[in-house]
Structure 1
Amino acid sequence: MFIWLHILAGTSFLLAACWFILKALNYPELFRRIDSTLQPTKDFADILEVENKTEETKKIRIEQLKNFMVEKEPFLEPSLTIQELADQLNIPVRELSVLINHHLNQHFFDFVNEYRVKKAMTILRDASKKEVTVLEILYEVGFNSKSSFHTSFKKHTNQTPTAFRNS
């Protein structure tokens, strides 16, 4: 009798496991919390274009974004997110994302790091700041780690920060 109880429990467990596996294969969004009916972001770029986003409006938004980055320097905040930047600009996150990804052809972090590197370059060129170490500069311009700073700096200038300072 005890063996039959084990066989029944094992079979029930096996059937339940098979049911979950088949459900996962047929409806993956149930287990990943991803809605497979969502549109790719490329479609959002097209939708935004259709919703009265003319070429002129797009240029104005991009110019507004670039001016804001230069004047207010939000990139100096190491934990800056696209949500925070969109809030500061008073534009929807999705629109900002489409502007950066599809119209500037950059990822958000590459976009932000470009401004950080430019700021670091001005500090490295400044003769009055020769005493400031590269480590101090990378934290000052918003980077969190030496490796990400060196990678971004080399990507934008083809030089290390020290080589840039010495040239």
Structure 2
Amino acid sequence: MRYFEDLAVGETASFGRYEVTREEVLDFARRYDPQPFHLSDEGAADTHFGRLAASGWHSCAMTMAMLVEQMKAVPTASLGAGGIDELRWLKPVYPGDTLRCQTELLDKRKSATKPHVGFTRQRMTVFNQHDEPVMTFIANALIRRRGDGDTAPAA
């Protein structure tokens, strides 16, 4: 288990593999982002996408799926997240793309009021199969600390 104290500012990690399928792009769009360019090639033809493209929110969801798999592979004492900053969709994500993630720990600090909590900020970059960045954001996470944190109530 990796705790707050185990994390070093500047460390990076590369992980994940997510194959984007047409069916999943359509299903997500129908349910959550029913704009024409997310629903059909015809609806996207006259846009800058040129063809069916995944919703940016779907890209976020696929990234979260990869992140959870990474947290299972390398257990971290996560206490959840406080949000994201600077979300940017840099390139369209298309059916047939394969996504992967890279993180960099930008900074960390101990909570001033909760001795079992540390806060981190990590830059997440999502790449397609051509190593082109398609999305970036800063993740604000809460990580359990050792010591006093060992006796803290479960979050």
Structure with bigger helix share is 1
Specify if TM > 0.5.
no
Give the shorter-chain TM-score range: under 0.3
TM-score (ref. length: structure 1): 0.24
Structure number with the bigger relative contact order (C-alpha 8 A, sep ≥ 6) is 2
TM-score (ref. length: structure 2): 0.25
Structure with bigger strand share is 2
